[in-house]
């Protein structure tokens, strides 16, 4: 660490203008008590000297902060990247800056990061907790009544606001779509067994099947990592073990991409004699052949709503902790048999 020439402080400006630092502060903030002419003069000189107010010092004095923290397990995940992008944009408009940090699903790192952000005196925190996070891990935040909202992964913290996707409804919509086209036997492939998201989607699937007096066979449920490769592996297994089954709900669109590959290799035709539904509606899902039918979870909307909720708490608008689930939407395209308008190949 090297000492570098600092920018000018209000002291330097005060000297240049021949006023006290107090007067300069008042002039710059416009908090009355200084004539318009003085204000303008001070501002002009400050600009000329390249003055940038040290927010950090102001914060120390006033106790107010325009910094927000975001903790997620992986920013490069497109779902979180979109969520974060809209969160940041919303907060920026409201005058707040955003610090982000990746936990990589490491709970120790998560705890360290929470403290590190508190140490930066952030006004509030948005946290997508790592797997198996308990609400005890938020004890430090509660103790100093630092506002925080939990997003995406619920941890049953009754004292915290939660904003996330409605996985149960999402699962229901996917299954319902299949059922509506006459398919009642299908697999659920990919995703980490026992994760909240996975369990929620499966529950929705079960509900939809239950409504028509059916259920999903245990051997049709094949969890794997929620990736391309996971999808390919899981789909291969599903094909081998269940030759009569000709449809699968994939844990997400990546998994669906893998399923396409596996089906191609097996000589099956997606949208013709095999049906696939995904979750997330990634931008490229519409470009697959055939275009992927999927459930949109609206991560950007989650980001904006989380931002609005957090900002309310930061500003001290008191209210009971709330849960807000963004309504998912089925995007019907052509990967479900019977929905392909025409086939040219």
Partner DNA sequence: CTGAAAGCGCTTACAG
Residue 35 interface partner, choices a copy of itself, DNA, none, CB cut-off 5-8 Å depending on type: DNA
- Give SS3 for 71: strand
For residues 102 to 121, the per-residue mask of contacts with DNA, x marking binding by CB under 7 A and - elsewhere, is --------------------
CB of 318 to a copy of itself, least distance (A): 9
Give backbone dihedrals phi and psi of 250, rounded to 5 degrees, phi first: -100, 145
**Alpha helix locations (H) across the chain?**
10-17, 21-29, 36-48, 55-62, 78-93, 107-119, 139-143, 167-180, 196-211, 228-241, 253-265, 299-314
Task: Give, rounded to a whole angstrom, the gap between the first and last alpha carbons of the chain.
Answer: 63
User: What's the min distance (Å) between Cβ of 307 and DNA?
Assistant: 25
Smaller CB distance to DNA: residue 18 or 341?
18
Distances, alpha carbon 140 to alpha carbons 144, 147, 236, in Å:
7, 11, 46
Instruction: Label residue 48 left, alpha or beta by phi (over 0 means left) and psi (-120 to 50 means alpha).
Output: alpha
Q: Do residues 292 and 276 touch, judged by C-beta distance below 8 A?
A: yes
Binding to a copy of itself in span 255-314, by CB under 8 A:
257-258, 260-261, 264, 267, 269, 282-284, 286-289, 314
φ, ψ of residue 288 in degrees (nearest 5) = -65, 165
Binding mask 116-155 for a copy of itself (x = CB under 8 A): xxxxxx------------------x--xxxx---------
Report yes or no: 7 and 52 within 8 Å, Cβ to Cβ: yes
Residue 169 or 252 with smaller CB distance to a copy of itself: 252
Among 104, 131, 322, 323, binds a copy of itself (CB under 8 A): 104
| Binding of a copy of itself by 30 (CB under 8 A) | no
Cβ neighbors of 181 (< 8 A, separation 6 or more) are: 275, 336, 337, 338, 339
Residue 125 Cβ, how far from DNA at the closest point, in Å? Answer: 18
Binding pattern for the stretch 9-48 against DNA, x by CB under 7 A and - elsewhere: xxx------xxxxxx-xx-xx-x-xxx--x----------
The one among 16, 49, 58, 199 contacting DNA by CB under 7 A? 58
111 in contact with a copy of itself (CB under 8 A) = no
Q: Which does 76 bind (CB under 5 to 8 A by kind): DNA, a copy of itself, none?
A: a copy of itself
Contact set for DNA, span 62-81 (CB under 7 A): 62-63
User: With respect to a copy of itself, which residue has the nearer C-beta, 69 or 129?
Assistant: 69
Q: 282: helix, coil or strand?
A: coil
Contact flags string 213-252 toward a copy of itself, x per CB under 8 A: --------------xx------------------------
Q: Which residues in 159-188 contact a copy of itself (CB under 8 A)? A: none
Distance of closest approach, residue 68 Cβ to DNA, in angstroms: 19
**Would you tell me how many other CB atoms lie within 10 Å of the CB of residue 338?**
12
Residue 19: C-alpha distances to residues 33, 40, 182, 220, 298 (Å): 13, 13, 81, 78, 54
Q: Map tokens 């794997």 to a residue.
A: 224
Question: Strands of 187-189's sheet, edge to edge?
Answer: 221-222, 187-189, 247-250, 275-279, 293-296, 329-331
* Residues in 130-159 at the binding interface with DNA, rule: CB under 7 A: none
Residue ranges in contact with DNA by CB under 7 A? 6, 9-11, 18-23, 25-26, 28-29, 31, 33-35, 38, 51, 53-54, 57-58, 60-63
């Amino acid at each position: 660490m090297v000492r570098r020439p600092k920018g000018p402080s209000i002291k330097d400006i005060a000297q240049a203008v021949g006023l006290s630092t107090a007067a300069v502060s008042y002039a710059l903030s416009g908090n009355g008590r200084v004539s318009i002419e003085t204000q303008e003069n001070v501002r002009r000189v400050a600009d000329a000297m390249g003055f940038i107010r040290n927010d950090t010092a102001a914060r120390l004095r006033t106790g107010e902060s325009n910094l927000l923290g975001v903790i997620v397990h992986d920013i490069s995940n497109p779902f979180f990247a979109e969520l974060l992008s809209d969160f940041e944009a919303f907060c920026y408009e409201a005058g707040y800056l955003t610090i982000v940090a990746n936990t990589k699903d490491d709970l120790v790192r998560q705890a360290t990061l929470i403290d590190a952000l508190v140490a930066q005196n952030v006004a509030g925190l948005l946290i997508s907790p790592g797997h198996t996070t308990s609400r005890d891990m938020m004890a430090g935040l509660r103790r100093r009544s630092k506002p925080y909202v939990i997003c995406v992964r619920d941890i049953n913290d009754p004292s915290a606001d939660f904003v996330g996707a409605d996985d149960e409804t999402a699962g229901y919509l996917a299954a319902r779509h299949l059922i509506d086209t006459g398919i009642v036997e299908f697999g659920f492939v990919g995703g980490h067994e026992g994760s909240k998201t996975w369990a929620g989607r499966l529950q929705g699937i079960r509900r939809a099947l239950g409504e028509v007096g059916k259920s999903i066979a245990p051997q049709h449920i094949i969890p794997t990592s929620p990736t391309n490769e996971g999808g390919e592996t899981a789909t291969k297994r599903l094909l081998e073990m269940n030759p009569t089954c000709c449809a699968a709900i994939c844990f997400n669109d990546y998994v669906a991409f893998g399923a396409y590959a596996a089906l191609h290799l097996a000589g099956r035709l997606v949208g013709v004699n095999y049906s696939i539904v995904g979750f997330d509606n990634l931008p490229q899902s519409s470009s697959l052949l055939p275009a992927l039918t999927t459930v949109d979870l609206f991560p950007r909307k989650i980001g904006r709503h989380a931002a609005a909720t957090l900002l309310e708490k930061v500003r001290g608008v008191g209210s009971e902790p709330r849960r807000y689930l963004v309504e998912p939407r089925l995007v019907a395209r052509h990967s479900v048999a019977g929905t392909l308008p025409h086939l040219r190949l």
